[in-house]
Structure 1
Amino acid sequence: MTAPTATVEGSSLRVCGVSKQFASPTDPTACTQALDNVSLEVTAGELVSIVGPSGCGKSTLLRLIAGLDKPGLGELWVGEEPIVGPSAERGLVFQDPNLFPWLTVRRNIESGLVARGVLRDKRHEVDEYMRLVGLDAFAGAFPHHLSGGMAQRAALARALINHPKVLLLDEPLGALDAFTRMRMQDEVLRLWESRGTTMVFITHDIDEAIYMSDRIVIMTPRPGRIERIIDVTLDRPRERSSREFLQLRGDILEYLHFGHAVR
């Protein structure tokens, strides 16, 4: 089930046979294999979550899609364009909002437009995106005035205002308390549904992955490979306590070899 929107801004994404090694920090003659022959196709407007044990290469894969690093082997494509470096067409949101502390909410959201030299032509969109994330009343506030959830919404607006074809989210809600996290899950879903942006979402929270995703990609321990991909066919909005939700949660925990923890 893709985003129920009349306009899909997102683009398809292809990861083709990607492998990545890093030099060992303790032995310059040795390498650590982070990813091994990873292939994945994401359709335009789809929301896909990636889960797996710590150190399995999830963030490495996201950095490769973002163009911040290059694969040792394989290719990555957005639509018909190969990924050869960073681009505003691929937005990236981290666990830490990384707002500029000396800039107001408005100026933080504008910063990507400033960097691209298009603020004059796109200035009218800033108010639209502040309303979209519910921060129009905080345009003049500085980051230290904001709650964690508000700061993350500002980071989302800053990424979305560039109209990325693919939005990459690296555990963006992990630092929030449980109640704020659930509210922000709904916020991200609302933004996804309204813009039709393709989203790739890293999370360690199985419930979060089920609640939000069209598909869930499960990775193996390092070197990271895709072990299986699960279609989430539950109707939206999803009920976290439903029998189907809990059954899927149990299945995924079994796949991740934690089934004994829920018996």
Structure 2
Amino acid sequence: MNNPRAAEGAVLVARNVSKAFTAADGSTVVALERVSLEVAAGELVSLVGPSGCGKSTLLRLAAGLDHPTAGELTVGNEPIAGPSADRGLVFQDPTLFPWLTVRRNIEAGLAARGQLRRRRREVDEYLTLVGLDGFADAYPHQLSGGMAQRAALARALVNHPGVLLLDEPLGALDQFTRMRMQDELLRIWAARGTTMLLVTHDIDEALYLSDRIAVMSPRPGRIDRILDVALPRPRHRNDRRFLDLRSRLLEAFDLTCVEPAPASPPH
């Protein structure tokens, strides 16, 4: 693990987790099957895999928004029985309250738990941490996509979660903003030492951010393999070692040689 401090991080463990759903036609759909994964305190791990393999389902189970059909998830030594401020969740859409300022959005969780008066000063610290201290009184519609996502990160982090769950948090951003936000995410992670589990469809993003990458199989989702990203930070996307690891990931998805589509016959 590349983050030695693990200041706020907690260990997240999934043990033989399975999840099945009942489809509209009454059939059973197995989304996850016997998934086991341990994320160390302060570690940043990415989940990658084909669409529909259960990545977001596993994240929802870790957040306590749903319950496994079999198996167990724990944070520290405590079983996950439901949502908790100990586990922050950030979605692809920032989901800010449009009628509240940036400051009020970040304060929302503290206010709901009766902690705002005691911890109000921390809100300023997190505004500074995500680079929004000059936008505390702005409303969500006045922010760029990257700024709104930073506000969503601050709202999750101000609760001091032991684990931060990230479901494609940068997926809606343009490529240049996304790359800048990847650096922001790493800076915040290094500053707080929070354990992070990231769902992403972007292989380069997973390699750039992660200590380890868990590769999931097509549904029913299983952990097919785990790749250690033993590259020093800051990382460079054109580094030979980075490109070698990228090739290994592409091989895992059988994407190293994609046949071109056949040419249309002449009319």
TM above 0.5, yes or no, is: yes
State which of 174, 179, 201 in structure 1 corresponds to 2:176. Answer: 179
CA offsets per residue over residues 35-78 of structure 1, 9 Å max, x none?
Answer: 00000011100000000000000000000000000000000000
RMSD after superposition: 1.2
Q: Distance in 2 between matches of 1:2 and 1:152?
A: 25
State which of 94, 97, 105 in structure 2 corresponds to 1:97. Answer: 94
Change beyond 3 A, Cα 1:262–1:40: farther
CA contact (8 A) 1:17 1:37 kept: yes
In structure 2, the residue matched to 1:3 is 3
Q: Distance in 1 between matches of 2:81 and 2:253?
A: 33
Q: Distance in 1 between matches of 2:114 and 2:68?
A: 30
Q: Distance in 2 between matches of 1:156 and 1:184?
A: 11
CA contact (8 A) 1:250 1:262 kept: no
CA offsets per residue over residues 134-153 of structure 1, 9 Å max, x none?
Answer: 10100110000000000000
CA offsets per residue over residues 142-194 of structure 1, 9 Å max, x none?
Answer: 00000000000000000000000000000000000000000000000000000
CA contact (8 A) 1:4 1:193 kept: no
In structure 1, the residue matched to 2:55 is 58
**Code of the aligned partner of 2:19:** K
Instruction: Confirm or deny that 1:257 pairs with 2:254.
Output: yes
Q: Distance in 2 between matches of 1:252 and 1:261?
A: 14
State which of 236, 248, 255 in structure 1 corresponds to 2:233. Answer: 236
Which structure 1 residue ranges, 5 or more long, are not aligned? none
The secondary structure found in structure 1 opposite 2:36 is strand
State which of 211, 215, 218 in structure 1 corresponds to 2:208. Answer: 211
Shift of 1:117: 1.2
CA offsets per residue over residues 70-128 of structure 1, 9 Å max, x none?
Answer: 00000000011010110000000000000000000000000010111110111010100
Shift of 1:2: 3.1
Larger Rg: 2
**Code of the aligned partner of 1:32:** V
Q: Distance in 2 between matches of 1:261 and 1:47?
A: 30
Which structure 2 residue ranges, 5 or more long, are not aligned? 261-267
Change beyond 3 A, Cα 1:195–1:110: same
State which of 38, 42, 57 in structure 2 corresponds to 1:45. Answer: 42
Q: Distance in 1 between matches of 2:234 and 2:253?
A: 26
Superposed counterparts of 1:68-79, under 5 Å: 68-79=65-76
In structure 1, the residue matched to 2:13 is 14
In structure 1, the residue matched to 2:114 is 117
Q: Distance in 2 between matches of 1:216 and 1:224?
A: 15
**Code of the aligned partner of 2:84:** S
**Code of the aligned partner of 1:120:** R
In structure 2, the residue matched to 1:106 is 103
Q: Distance in 1 between matches of 2:131 and 2:257?
A: 42
**Code of the aligned partner of 2:13:** R
CA contact (8 A) 1:108 1:158 kept: yes
The secondary structure found in structure 2 opposite 1:163 is coil
In structure 2, the residue matched to 1:143 is 140
Q: Which moved more, 1:66-75 or 1:252-261?
A: 252-261
Q: Distance in 1 between matches of 2:158 and 2:79?
A: 23
Q: Distance in 1 between matches of 2:15 and 2:36?
A: 5
Q: Distance in 1 between matches of 2:209 and 2:62?
A: 20
In structure 1, the residue matched to 2:265 is none
Shift of 1:261: 3.2
**Code of the aligned partner of 2:40:** T
Q: Distance in 2 between matches of 1:138 and 1:170?
A: 25
Q: Distance in 2 between matches of 1:226 and 1:203?
A: 15
TM-score (norm 1): 0.97
The secondary structure found in structure 1 opposite 2:214 is strand
Find runs of 4+ consecutive structure 1 residues off by over 6 angstroms.
none
TM-score (norm 2): 0.96
Q: Distance in 1 between matches of 2:52 and 2:44?
A: 22
**Code of the aligned partner of 2:22:** A
